[in-house]
């Protein structure tokens, strides 16, 4: 059987335990997972893409089936380049649904072969978002329960 891969795109600004939970679930379902870190200039990320990639690489280095790369441009173009047409997205709550639904349908309009698979994290992580973690860090809170050590370190460097 041909190996089945999947792409997990996102901003990961920074990576949280919620993202890592989705990555490990995807790695159980697929032979390989490409975590595609959107450069996302329009979103004004806190961390440059190189830092977001580094945090993810350090947090997933124990699994050789996980690759972390940058994503510049359209996801469908990336999918075509790689020949992988399965996209992973996380669904935490109903509030994620509207946006994720729109994205999935738009991506499929742009590339009919593209399918989006939604994974739900462990309940403990359903309240976690990169945005709220950044807010806690900015206000001087301890973010170590929410993000892996490389992200805690980089957040501390930005918000000492
Ligand atoms: P975006 O790609 O919208 O900028 P993120 O990088 O934060 O957002 O997230 C990438 C994907 O991971 C999205 O599908 C998002 O819903 C999902 N996600 C984010 N945080 C969590 C979490 N705590 N649990 C599960 N999925 C999550």
Q: How far is the CA of 9 from the centre of ligand 1 (A)?
A: 9
Position 113 in a domain: yes
Each residue of 26-37: pLDDT tens digit?
A: 999 999 999 999
* Residue 75 predicted with pLDDT over 80: yes
Position 95 in a domain: yes
Taking residues 92-96, report their average pLDDT: 88
**Distances in Å between the alpha carbon of 1 and those of 26, 28, 74, 118, 148?**
18, 17, 29, 24, 35
Taking residues 88-102, report their average pLDDT: 93
Q: How far apart are CA 16 and CA 144, in angstroms?
A: 10
Atom 15 (ligand 1) nearest CA? 90
CB neighbours of residue 36 within 10 Å = 24
Q: How far is the CA of 89 from the centre of ligand 1 (A)?
A: 7
Domain count, the chain: 1
- If pLDDT is split at 50, 70 and 90, which confidence band does 3 have? confident
Taking residues 15-36, report their average pLDDT: 98
What is residue 43's predicted lDDT score, i.e. its pLDDT?
A: 81
130 is catalytic: yes
* Residue 66 predicted with pLDDT over 90: yes
Atom 21 (ligand 1) nearest CA? 18
Answer left, alpha or beta for residue 25, where phi above 0 means left and psi between -120 and 50 means alpha: alpha
**Which pTM value belongs to this model?**
0.96
Position 48 in a domain: yes
105: domain CATH number?
A: 3.40.50.620
Position 19 in a domain: yes
Q: Does residue 55's CB lie within 6 angstroms of at least one atom of ligand 1?
A: no
Taking residues 90-116, report their average pLDDT: 95
Position 132 in a domain: no
* Residue 42 predicted with pLDDT over 80: no
**Secondary element (H or E) of residue 109:** helix 94-110
User: Cis omega before residue 26 (within 30°)?
Assistant: no
Position 152 in a domain: no
Position 148 in a domain: no
Q: Residue 49 corresponds to which tokens in the numbers above? A: 């893409």
Q: Does residue 96's CB lie within 6 angstroms of at least one atom of ligand 1?
A: yes
Residue 110: domain span: 5-126
Position 16 in a domain: yes
- If pLDDT is split at 50, 70 and 90, which confidence band does 2 have? confident
What is residue 51's predicted lDDT score, i.e. its pLDDT?
A: 98
Can you name the residues that pair with 87 across neighbouring β-strands?
7, 116
């Amino acid at each position: 059987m041909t190996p089945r891969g999947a792409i997990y795109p996102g901003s990961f600004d920074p990576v949280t335990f919620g993202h890592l939970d989705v990555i490990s679930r995807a790695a159980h379902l697929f032979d390989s997972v490409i975590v595609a870190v959107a450069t996302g200039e329009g979103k004004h990320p806190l961390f440059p893409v190189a830092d977001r990639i580094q945090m993810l690489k350090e947090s997933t280095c124990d699994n050789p089936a996980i690759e972390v790369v940058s994503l510049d441009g359209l996801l469908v173009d990336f999918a075509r380049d790689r020949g992988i047409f399965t996209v992973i997205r996380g669904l935490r709550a109903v509030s994620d649904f509207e946006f994720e639904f729109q994205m999935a349908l738009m991506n499929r309009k742009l590339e009919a072969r593209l399918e989006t698979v939604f994974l739900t994290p462990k309940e403990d992580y359903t309240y976690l978002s990169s945005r709220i973690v950044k807010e806690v860090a900015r206000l001087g809170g301890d973010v170590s329960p929410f993000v892996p050590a490389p992200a805690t370190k980089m957040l501390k460097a930005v918000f000492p």
